[in-house]
Chain A
Amino acid sequence: AQKITQTQPGMFVQEKEAVTLDCTYDTSDPSYGLFWYKQPSSGEMIFLIYQGSYDQQNATEGRYSLNFQKARKSANLVISASQLGDSAMYFCAMREGRANAGKSTFGDGTTLTVKP
């Protein structure tokens, strides 16, 4: 079974609107971290936001927020007030506590296109 599932291969959003990118995960480890990365067409991977399994509140970083629903094992990324520069591929990733070497598992990604 896939550990990280991103069910939306592609998404479109109108500029200035909000968009939610879905991510579900699967782990039996009580200690884990969830990450979102952005990859523009130029290729570099940019870390956006982190949510820990024990965090009581949803993480926020500027226009990015994470809708963390632990019981449902989902960690959706919400981008508010979309900008043209948000057009990119977005990856959800998980790092489990048992994996002491610090490996992360990545989803297949969602391509977001922001329309003017």
Chain B
Amino acid sequence: DVKVTQSSRYLVKRTGEKVFLECVQDMDHENMFWYRQDPGLGLRLIYFSYDVKMKEKGDIPEGYSVSREKKERFSLILESASTNQTSMYLCASSLIRTTNQPQHFGDGTRLSIL
């Protein structure tokens, strides 16, 4: 079974802090993704990566950055956290080459910025 592990289920941080959300997958997937989920807005893609050190902006990259130094690990960084970044964050991974592969998700991190 594919396992995608997010470092925290719940996280509380303060405005202005630098926040790191970590995600690790164990199935050698090329693709990794970070989404943000808010009520009524579905899943919005923040950033994705299709290879080590490669990254591309998604739909809402402002205020976020990412790091992928190793294939299995994809980190989301909130450079200076703000209250409007309070949200559920989901990490996912998938194989790159075919359209029939689903994304595999972590359990999510509920982040509160005070």
Binding site for B on A (CB under 8 A): 31-33, 35, 37, 42-47, 50, 52-53, 91, 93, 95-97, 100-104, 106-109
Q: Which residue of A lies closest to B49 (CB)?
A: A101
Q: Which residue of A lies closest to B51 (CB)?
A: A101
Q: A101-B50, A106-B42 are in contact. Are A47 and B102 (CB under 8 A)?
A: yes
Residues of chain B within 8 A (CB-CB) of A44 are 105-108
Q: Kindly list 15 other residue pairs between chains A and B, CB separation below 8 angstroms, not including A43-B107, A47-B102.
A: A33-B101, A43-B108, A44-B108, A45-B92, A45-B105, A46-B105, A91-B43, A101-B31, A101-B96, A102-B31, A102-B50, A102-B101, A104-B94, A106-B43, A107-B42
Residues of chain B within 8 A (CB-CB) of A35 are 102-103
Residues of chain A within 8 A (CB-CB) of B90 are 45
Count of inter-chain pairs, beta carbons less than 8 A: 69
B42 CB → nearest A CB, Å? 4
Please classify how large the interface on chain B is, using the bins under 10, 10 to 19, 20 to 34, 35 or more: 20 to 34
B110 CB → nearest A CB, Å? 7
Q: A100-B97, A103-B48 are in contact. Are A47 and B104 (CB under 8 A)?
A: yes
Residues of chain B within 8 A (CB-CB) of A53 are 99
Residues of chain A within 8 A (CB-CB) of B77 are none
Residues of chain A within 8 A (CB-CB) of B102 are 35, 37, 47, 50
Select one of A52, A91, A108, A109 contacting B99, CB under 8 A. A52
A36 CB → nearest B CB, Å? 9
Contact A102 B96 (CB under 8 A): yes
Contact A102 B95 (CB under 8 A): yes
Residues of chain B within 8 A (CB-CB) of A102 are 30-31, 50, 94-97, 101
Q: How distant is the Cα of A37 from the Cα of B48 in the complex, in angstroms?
A: 19
